[in-house]
Amino acid sequence: MSEQVTVRERLQARIEAREAVVGVIGLGYVGLPLAVELARSGYTVLGFDISERTVEGINRGESHIQDVSSEVLSAFTGEGLLSATTDLKRLNECDAISICVPTPLNKTKDPDLSYVAAASDAVLEGLRPGQLVILESTTYPGTTREVVLPVLEKSGLVVGEDFFLSFSPERVDPGNPTWQTRNTPKVLGGVTPACTELGLALYSRVFETMVPVTSAEAAELTKVYENTFRMINIALANELAQACDKLGVDVWEVIEAAATKPFGFMKFTPGPGLGGHCIPLDPHYLSWKMRTLAFKTRMIELASEINSEMPSFVVQKVADCLNDHGKPVRGSRVLVLGVAYKKDIDDLRESPAMDVIRLLQEKGAEVSFHDPFCPLIADDGHTPIQNLPLHSQELSDAVLEASDAVVVVTDHSSVDYARVAEKARLVVDTRGVMREPQQHVVGLSRRAPKSVPALRLAVA
């Protein structure tokens, strides 16, 4: 027992003295910001990625992630605190390892844990006494204990004594200027109490606020629940938009009025569909897990159905509006304004704009796009739209005037929407950025027949 305690105490001492070498597997939207914060906290960080291009760029101090500037990255690479490699055999050099790999869904919306399994196998190859492993990849409750742990136990080492395993879900919100990696509270739960203790010892020196929970399963479910909550409430807002369209009521007016209630209400807004890696996908991890336990997550299934219908709802509105202007969709020139999954970022993952473009193309429209953050939509073998690659068009007066319809899909802050409304023949605004009543501007819902003043609170 004394030798086992010594292993734990030795790791604790290296963490506290910031002598621990920390490995980060996966240097994308989650892994690279984490690696930078670890280096900022004084740890020597070794990043791992399968992409030679990504690794070479990081070692030159060049960031490929919007939330990490090359200036910040190069400061840490220049000091030798952060470096990257494709050689997974070097995991043996690390005292702590954070796994930040993708966890996509397959075509039947079942979890694809192949990246997690591959990372676990790589860790196993070099696993030695005194290492801490933290899984960050979003997944279903039970993954850490039921998938990762059995792989690492093939080493013959004992969890909680020889090595330590925890789950700490990423909470990255790309483009958020207020809540970033360091100041977003960090949830962590270990497979054993000792695993939790050592995970907290490492991350409490990196994150401003730690939120310990009693198990890895509780930490896994926390992440899935957070995004399920958002997905269901967005679905309610999307269904409200469709109801308002039938009723002839402005959905944005209703939401803004409801949001003045100082208690019992949280504002969610409708849009053209869900995007990003988290909200469209994470709830299905829970659905899948519960199906294995003969339990049906009905609200998740219904919310997913509502949200997935929104691109079709948008395209039908475009078709109806073009018809009102005496034009068929086939042969019409449609400009999609914004293709990133949310405003002011360059992330195309799961963006509803891809479905909007695809559906418009299927109806025969000639589709182009403008996005100040996304210069092109590349052919990655998964994007089901035609004529790839598509390049972002300049948002000139000539382009706006030549378009039969402009569809606002992503509401980037840098776009001059007043000019868009002035120059375009027809605008379908899915984000509520054009609130002044105009005959040729149509929102997700039909507006009231009379102009209503902008909502203001009366001040005594």
CATH number at residue 345: 3.40.50.720
pLDDT at 70 (0 to 100): 96
pLDDT at 148 (0 to 100): 98
pLDDT at 343 (0 to 100): 94
Residue 278 known to be catalytic: yes
Whether residue 137 is contained in a domain is answered as: yes
pLDDT at 102 (0 to 100): 92
223, 187 Cβ separation under 8 angstroms: yes
Looking at the fold, whether 209 and 242 belong to one and the same domain comes out as no
Looking at the fold, whether 255 and 126 belong to one and the same domain comes out as no
Whether residue 114 is contained in a domain is answered as: yes
Looking at the fold, whether 14 and 128 belong to one and the same domain comes out as yes
Looking at the fold, whether 269 and 197 belong to one and the same domain comes out as no
- The predicted-structure confidence for 409-433, as pLDDT tens digits, reads as follows 999 999 999 999 999 999 999 999 9
Distance CA 65, CA 58 (A): 10
Looking at the fold, whether 239 and 91 belong to one and the same domain comes out as no
Whether residue 99 is contained in a domain is answered as: yes
Whether residue 109 is contained in a domain is answered as: yes
342, 275 Cβ separation under 8 angstroms: yes
Looking at the fold, whether 342 and 248 belong to one and the same domain comes out as yes
Looking at the fold, whether 256 and 208 belong to one and the same domain comes out as no
Label residue 331 left, alpha or beta by phi (over 0 means left) and psi (-120 to 50 means alpha). left
Distance CA 156, CA 166 (A): 18
Distance CA 269, CA 249 (A): 15
Looking at the fold, whether 145 and 258 belong to one and the same domain comes out as no
Looking at the fold, whether 145 and 41 belong to one and the same domain comes out as yes
Is the N-terminal amide bond of 389 cis, ω within 30° of 0? yes
Distance CA 120, CA 99 (A): 8
Structure tokens at 362: 């299927």
- State which residues form the domain around 321: 235-443
- What sign does the dihedral 358-363-364-367 (CA atoms) show? negative
pLDDT at 108 (0 to 100): 77
Whether residue 25 is contained in a domain is answered as: yes
Looking at the fold, whether 194 and 292 belong to one and the same domain comes out as no
pLDDT at 280 (0 to 100): 82
| Domains in the chain, number | 2
Whether residue 105 is contained in a domain is answered as: yes
Whether residue 453 is contained in a domain is answered as: no
Looking at the fold, whether 166 and 56 belong to one and the same domain comes out as yes
Distance CA 78, CA 191 (A): 36
pLDDT at 313 (0 to 100): 97
Looking at the fold, whether 207 and 309 belong to one and the same domain comes out as no
Distance CA 313, CA 309 (A): 6
**Residues lower than pLDDT 50 in the chain:** 1-2, 4, 448-460
Structure tokens at 411: 């509401």
pLDDT at 105 (0 to 100): 85
Of 195, 278, 321, 374, which is the active-site residue? Answer: 278
Domain boundary among 151, 180, 214: 214
134, 101 Cβ separation under 8 angstroms: no
Whether residue 457 is contained in a domain is answered as: no
pLDDT at 447 (0 to 100): 56
